[in-house]
Amino acid sequence: MSDEDTLPRKAWTPGEAALQLGIPYETVLRLIHEGKLAAVNAGRYYLVPDAAIDRFLNPGA
């Protein structure tokens, strides 16, 4: 399977979301727990959807 055949990512781990947002991992977890950054609970892990990152970065849009 080539890179052209792969689907774009739609969700990110908190660590990956932290890198995208330019904030610490711990801050991402705090924002998730406070309900300020939406995340899906996947077992014992969180996944942060692309749309949640977009809403966080553009709250009035």
3-state secondary structure 9-33: CCEECHHHHHHHHCCCHHHHHHHHH
Q: How many CA atoms lie within 13 A of 39 on its CB side?
A: 25
**For position 61, what pLDDT does the model report?**
73
Report the predicted TM-score, pTM, of the whole model to 2 decimal places.
Answer: 0.83
> What total of structural domains would you count in the chain?
1
Does residue 48 form part of some domain? yes
User: 47 lies in which domain range?
Assistant: 11-57
Q: What is the pLDDT of residues 4-33, one digit of tens each?
A: 778 888 999 999 999 999 999 999 999 999
DSSP helix/strand/coil, 4: helix
* Pairwise CA distance, residues 18 & 16, whole Å: 5
Q: Supply 55's token pair.
A: 């809403």
> Do residues 45 and 38 lie in contact, with contact meaning Cβ atoms separated by under 8 Å?
no
Does residue 22 form part of some domain? yes
Does residue 6 form part of some domain? no
